[in-house]
């Protein structure tokens, strides 16, 4: 009798990442054998129990899809927007359910990943795995050595401490400067918030890498499929590095 935590089962069926699945379950939109379940830790028999979301029965998929998209500026990462703004998912001309792995804010551009594999998404987004995200960032003005040290040591923002893992100078423009910044946290707009706290706001921000997955030669609005075999290698490398199983 294969028992599985309900939130993990939702992630495995491609509904959402495991963390997002927790929220979906708590919202009362999931039923097990016709009964609403709001506890993400509820266990289900994956062979015998009937699990539905939005009236649709969920089944485990044996084949997952992985897509890398260059999100242009002016698109949102969420799958819906009450303001009617353009949605990044709509740039991917593929049928079926694909959800974003993390976020990239409206005014930023660059690499976004989409999948129907919740376990893959969980491994990339959960803070415990410390997955690297690399950005090309243009700052207003020029940063001093003290600014760089503070960003590496940690900048207090809204009661939290935001820090970069690596910072590398790229080039100066007439009045501004470009840097490559690597972070391992997935906090929303964290680089922009650090920059604002240092009085050097971000003028442009482009994500170029998520762990071993790079944006390559993609242009804004373009996307490519990621080979599942490469994803499996990626999952194994990340999980082994952090002492946790990939599944």
pLDDT digits (tens, 9 = 90+) for 79-111: 889 999 999 999 999 988 899 998 999 999 999
88: containing domain: 66-127+212-241
Give the β-pairing of 155-157 and 160-162: antiparallel
Same domain, 17 and 29: yes
Same domain, 93 and 191: no
Q: Is residue 165 part of a domain?
A: yes
Same domain, 141 and 196: yes
CA dihedral 202, 208, 209, 210 (to 10 degrees): 60
The whole-model pTM stands at 0.80
Same domain, 101 and 149: no
Same domain, 147 and 188: yes
Task: Give the pLDDT confidence score for residue 246 in this predicted structure.
Answer: 42
- pLDDT, greater one: 242 or 21: 21
Give yes or no for residue 123 having a pLDDT over 70: yes
Q: What is the DSSP string of 133-161?
A: EEEEEEESS---HHHHHHHHH-EEETTEE
Find where tokens 């079926």 sit.
96
Task: Give the pLDDT confidence score for residue 122 in this predicted structure.
Answer: 84
CA distances from 156 to 9, 165, 200, 209 (A): 37, 15, 15, 25
Same domain, 171 and 52: no
Give yes or no for residue 247 having a pLDDT over 70: no
Total count of domains within the chain:
3
Give yes or no for residue 244 having a pLDDT over 80: no
CB 77 within 8 A of CB 89: no
CB 191 within 8 A of CB 135: yes
Same domain, 49 and 153: no
CATH number at residue 13: 3.10.290.10
CATH number at residue 185: 3.30.2350.10
The domain boundary residue, chosen from 37, 57, 77: 57
Could you give the CA distance from residue 150 to residue 166 in angstroms, rounded to a whole number?
12
Give yes or no for residue 245 having a pLDDT over 70: no
Which residues are designated catalytic?
Answer: 105
Same domain, 219 and 206: no
Task: Give the pLDDT confidence score for residue 236 in this predicted structure.
Answer: 63
Q: Is residue 246 part of a domain?
A: no
Same domain, 46 and 15: yes
Nearest by Cα to 124 from 9, 4, 20, 222: 20
Same domain, 97 and 159: no
CA distances from 195 to 4, 161, 234 (A): 43, 13, 31
The domain boundary residue, chosen from 35, 57, 79: 57
Give the β-pairing of 202-210 and 109-115: parallel
Same domain, 137 and 164: yes
Burial of 155 (0-12, 13-18, 19+ CB in 10 A): buried
Same domain, 167 and 97: no
CATH number at residue 96: 3.30.70.580
């Amino acid at each position: 009798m294969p028992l599985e935590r309900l939130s993990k089962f939702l992630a495995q069926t491609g509904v959402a990442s495991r963390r997002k699945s927790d929220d979906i379950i708590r919202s009362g939109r999931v039923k097990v054998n016709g009964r609403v379940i709001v506890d993400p830790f509820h266990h289900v028999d994956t062979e015998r129990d009937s699990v539905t979301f939005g009236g649709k029965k969920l089944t485990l998929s044996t084949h997952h899809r992985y897509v890398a998209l260059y999100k242009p500026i002016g698109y949102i990462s969420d799958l819906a927007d009450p303001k009617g703004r353009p949605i990044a998912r709509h740039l991917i001309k593929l049928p079926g359910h694909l959800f974003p792995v993390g976020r990239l804010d409206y005014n930023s551009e660059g690499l976004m990943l989409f999948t129907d594999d919740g376990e893959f998404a969980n491994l990339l987004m959960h803070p415990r795995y410390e997955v690297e995200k690399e950005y090309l960032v243009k700052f207003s003005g020029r940063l001093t050595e003290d600014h760089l040290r503070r960003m590496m040591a940690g900048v207090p923002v809204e009661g939290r401490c935001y820090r970069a893992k690596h910072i590398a100078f790229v080039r100066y423009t007439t009045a501004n400067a470009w840097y490559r910044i690597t972070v391992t946290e997935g906090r929303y707009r964290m680089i922009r918030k650090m920059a604002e706290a240092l009085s050097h706001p971000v003028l442009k921000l482009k994500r170029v890498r998520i762990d071993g997955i790079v944006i390559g030669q993609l242009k804004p609005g373009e996307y490519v499929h990621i080979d599942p075999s490469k994803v499996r290698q990626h999952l194994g490398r990340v999980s082994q590095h952090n002492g946790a199983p990939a599944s």
